[in-house]
Structures are given as structure tokens and as C-alpha cells.
Structure 1
């Protein structure tokens, strides 16, 4: 049975740009109050402030925190504030993990690259883009902020099974993220909490544009997609809203493609 999301709270990790931003705006359209964690320099202060104003203009509350979402100290500092915001209104109905900060360096030396991947770079990439999902979920459960009917979403990519010269550490992180989703889904099943990974199609975001090989990759994806366009952040936001309307936790532990059949059509070209 599908229910309205109006009046509930979401927590978006990576809320200031790309898919996280679109999800925050999309859920606000559904009447969902938005708590967002982002990590930006002062140069983007006005842009983030405008986003918060745009969310509030939809008639909902918005509280954004500029902090490193992967840091233990951030979780310790924000949990009491999140409990105060959401605890009396059903907790965090929707948790979205959209952290896209990782190292884009090949594993081994190659032409055009000065250095190979270092240990600290691999560990940082895995910690930010994968392990932080587990730590946030642990802390939210301990604080009784994830409750029956809550939904947890992690943003993954086709990079788990595709190769790009600079993408090895991020690919490993996304693979670990999908594994964490399956494990969390099993452990939270009896609590009525669903956990799924959303595999967005190729989406032009700031994170994608940082990949050295992104231009050629985007061109191939646009050619392959049967919809004759790339995935947009709003496509993913629509999926989050749709899936979140159900109280059921039976759809859980999956990697769900939100890509317009791009991955299925990748072997051919659709003109």
C-alpha cells in the first residue's frame, strides 16, 4: 500500500550537488522535510544557501550541515541535532547516501600519470564512498531514528563491472557499497527497514566530470541508451520518491537500475 510522504524527514548525505541535490528537491516536492550533509568550500556558500531557500519555498523544513559526512566526529555532533529535528516526527523515513568523493588514480604507473594509487587514497575512497553507509546506519539505528517503514538508499554505478583507467578505487568502493547494502538489508529485515542500492545510469554531475575519461564515456552512454538521452538527477529523485511511498520492507537488498535500460543496451547502439 502506498502512502503519502508528507511531514516525514529525509537525511541526504551529499545533498548540495548532483543526484543528492535533486533527491533533496524532489522529496521536498513530496512534502518531506530535508536534513542535508554536504562538504563545500566558502565559494559555494551562496549556491547552497539558495538550495536551502528553494527547498523551504516548497513548504517544508530544511536544515543543512556543512561537514565531512564520512568523519566519526561529524556523526557524533549531528546525531543529537537530527534526533531533535526528527525524533518526534517518526525519525528519519529516508536515508540517501550520495557521497561521491574518491581518488581517481590508476593502480599502476602508466603514461600520462605521475603517480600510482597510494594506500591512504584507497582507504579514503572506500571509507567515504562505502563504509560510511554502515557507520551512519549503525548510529541512526542506535539513536532509534531508523524505524519500521524507513528506507535506506545508496547510490552506486555501473563502474562496479566496467573499466576506466582511473576508476579502480571508486569501482572497488562501489562494489563494497553494494555488498554493504545486501548485509544491512538482511540485518534490518526484522526491523522493517528496507535497504537498496540505486544504480543510476550515466548522469552528468560534478563527480562524473572529475573523471579524466568522462567525455568519451558520456558519448558512448548517450549512444547506447534506448531513451536517446542520458540519465538525469531528477530521474533518480523520482525513483527514490516512488520506492519510499511503500511501508513494506519486502523490496530490499537489491541493486536497482535507474538508467533507462542503458546497461542492458550497452552491447549495441540505439540511434
Structure 2
């Protein structure tokens, strides 16, 4: 059964840009209040504040917080705030759209110019992009902020199952993230909470631009995508809004491709 999102609340991690921002915008247009968490320096913080104002102009409440989502202290500070903002009603939607990690190869380059991934870099990347989904789910559940009918979405990529240059730590994080989605889906099923991963196609975002060789990736995927274009953040946002409008928790534990068929031919 489909239910309106007006008056519900959404928690968006990575809300200041890319798919997180577009998901926040689409959910706000559907009537959701937005609680956004991002991690930016001075210029990025100003842009995030501007985006929060734009969402407010849509007629919903929008509250952005600049915090490291992998920080235990950040969770301790924000979970009570979320409870207060939602008046104890909890969250209808949680979107984990986090792109913060090391882009390197695992081993040193043959010429010695690139050192390879360190233990610290690997642990940080997997913790922020993978394990943080579990940390937040644990704390939100303990605070009774995940009511029956809630939907949790984690953003993954084809890099979680394929080898891309300089993507190894992030690929490991995505594989971990997808594993967590499966286990959380089973553990939350009795509570009526759905957990799914969204595997977007190649989408031009600030995160993609940071990947070495991104121009080549973009050109290749634009050429082969059966839909004749790259995936857009709006495509992903539309899928999240559509899935969040269902009161059923029976679609859970999946990796859902939103890519126009790109993964089928890539």
C-alpha cells in the first residue's frame, strides 16, 4: 500500500552534494522534513547552508549538521536532536550516501611513485563508507527512531564487485556495505523496517570527479548505456521517493540497480 510522505521525516547522510542532496530535494518536494548530515570545510559548509535554505523554501523543515558520521560523539549528539525534531515519531527514510575515502591501489606502483594503501587509510575508508551504516542503525533503533514502515537506503556502486583503477579501498567499503544491508534487512524484518542498497549507474557527481581517470569512465559508460545517457542524481532520487512511499517492508535486502541497464552491458 502506498502512503503519502507529507509530514514524515528523512535522515540523509552526505546531504551536501550529489545523490544525497538530490534525494533530500525530492523527498522535501514530497513533503518530508529533512535532517541532513554532511562533513565539509568552510566553502562546503556555506553551500550546505544554502541548500538547507532552498529545501526550506519548499515548505518543509530542513536541518543540516556538519559532523563526521563515523564519530561516536556525533551520534551521541545528534540522535537526541533527531528525536526532538521528529517529536518522537521517528524516521520514515534514512539515506546513507557517503563518499569519503582513500582512492589508491592496494600495492605500490611499479615505478615506486605511488606507495599503496596504508592500514590507516583502508580502515578509515571501510569504517566511514561501510560500518557507519551499522553504527547509526544501532543507535537509531535503540532510540526508537525506526518505526514500522521505515526505509533505509545505502548507496553502493558496481565497484563493489568489479576492479577499477585506484578504487580498491572504496570497493572494499562498498562490498562491506552491501553485506551489512543483507544482514540488517534480515534482523530488522520482524520490526517491519526495509533495508536496501541502491546501485546507481555512472553519475557525474563530485565524488566521481575525484576518481582518477573519471573522464574515461564517463565517456565509456555514456557510450554503452542502453538508455543512451548517463544516470542522473534525479533518477536515484525518484527511485528512493517511490520506494519510500510503500508501506510494505517486503522489498528488502536487495541491491537495486538504478542505471538504465548499464550494469547489464558494462
TM interval, shorter chain, is over 0.9
Could you say what the CA RMSD is over the residues aligned between the two structures, in angstroms? 1.0
Question: Does structure 2 conserve the Cα–Cα contact (< 8 Å) formed by 1:181 and 1:197?
Answer: yes
Q: Are 2:145 and 1:126 equivalent residues in the alignment?
A: no
**Cα offset for 1:44?**
2.2
Structure 1 unpaired stretches of 5+: 267-271
TM-aligned CA distance change 1:85 to 1:70, over 3 Å: same
Question: Does structure 2 conserve the Cα–Cα contact (< 8 Å) formed by 1:197 and 1:256?
Answer: yes
Question: Does structure 1 conserve the Cα–Cα contact (< 8 Å) formed by 2:45 and 2:66?
Answer: no
SS of the residue corresponding to residue 122 of structure 2 reads helix
Question: Does structure 2 conserve the Cα–Cα contact (< 8 Å) formed by 1:91 and 1:146?
Answer: yes
Question: Does structure 2 conserve the Cα–Cα contact (< 8 Å) formed by 1:164 and 1:213?
Answer: no
For residues 164 and 150 of structure 1, the distance between their equivalents in structure 2, rounded to whole angstroms, comes to 34
Question: How many residue pairs align between the two structures?
Answer: 265
Question: Does structure 2 conserve the Cα–Cα contact (< 8 Å) formed by 1:87 and 1:145?
Answer: no
Residues 139-178 of structure 1 mapped to structure 2, 5 A cutoff: 139-178=139-178
Q: Are 2:133 and 1:109 equivalent residues in the alignment?
A: no
Aligned to 1:269: none
For residues 9 and 180 of structure 2, the distance between their equivalents in structure 1, rounded to whole angstroms, comes to 23
**Cα offset for 1:161?**
1.9
Aligned to 2:45: 45
Aligned to 2:252: 252
Aligned to 2:82: 82
SS of the residue corresponding to residue 22 of structure 1 reads helix
Aligned to 1:211: 211
TM-score by length of 2: 0.98
